[in-house]
Amino acid sequence: MTNPPRHQARASAHETPAISHRRILTLAVIAVLGVVAVAALGFGVTKLGLLSDFDRSLSSGLNELHTGVLGSLASGIYSVLSPVPAVVITAVIAAIILAATRRFRVAITFALVVAVTWLPSAGMKFLIHRARPDVTTLTHPFARQPVDTSFPSGHMVFTVAVVVAFVLLARPGVARALTLVAGTIVAIVVGLALIVDGVHYPTDVIGSVLWSVTVGPLAFALCARFIVQRRVARTT
């Protein structure tokens, strides 16, 4: 039996990084601590009035910017990242990854990291049950104020989950650094848009970021360990 070409071996090693049980355990601990911190923040803002002045003042202040092109852009961002479009976006990106790399396991890893990070956050929304910003305090209330609860923001959890997936799939080095910078800019824009729209408090956005950056790496590690590496092991 002939050995695979050296360049193919290097590519395989890069695309299927060895994920040890110890690393998964470490990431699991980080994820649990992140979820606990998000829950603590959620209960703090709802039950104890934590950062209430900060939330109200920044929410109402940024909402005053919801006019003209900026207002339309912020509203558009909220609509595009709603649940159904978000599922479509995830599927389209996964399809593009599959077409570009011709590696199904990379595409499915992206989709699973986003889904496993994003979808469970709905349970936290139910647990915290925080009301949306009071429309009577907003200069430009959102045209269709959401009826679900506010903390954490599903839109923001999804956005940061996508960024985390892209960063961890990117080749280490310059590519990963550029992906991180671009993703951070996108996340900041989305977070500001949600506050400008008046549909989320700043702490909703903060809690969402904390959720995704702690849960996302664990989801990626589990995919790498039990999907990518297991498939490679079966073919060697």
Q: Which H or E run includes 41?
A: helix 21-47
Q: What is the pLDDT of residue 20?
A: 80
Task: Collect all residues with Cβ–Cβ distance below 8 Å to 31 and sequence separation of at least 6.
Answer: 214, 215, 217, 218
pTM above the 0.85 mark?
A: yes
Q: DSSP code of 135?
A: G
* CA 135, 136, 139, 144 torsion-angle sign: positive
Q: What is the pLDDT of residue 4?
A: 45
| Alpha-carbon gap, residue 115 to 181, rounded angstroms | 22
Q: What is the pLDDT of residue 107?
A: 95
Buried-state track 168-198, b at ≥16 Cβ within 10 A, e below 16: bbbeeeeeeeebbeebeebbeebbbbbbbbb
- The whole-number mean pLDDT for each consecutive block of 10 residues of the chain, a chain of 236 residues, reads 44 51 94 98 96 94 95 96 97 97 93 97 96 91 85 98 97 96 98 97 98 98 78 48
Q: What is the pLDDT of residue 232?
A: 44
- Looking up tokens 């009301």, which residue turns up? 131
Q: DSSP code of 145?
A: -
Task: Collect all residues with Cβ–Cβ distance below 8 Å to 108 and sequence separation of at least 6.
Answer: 94, 223, 227
Tokens of 43: 């209960």
Q: What is the pLDDT of residue 30?
A: 98
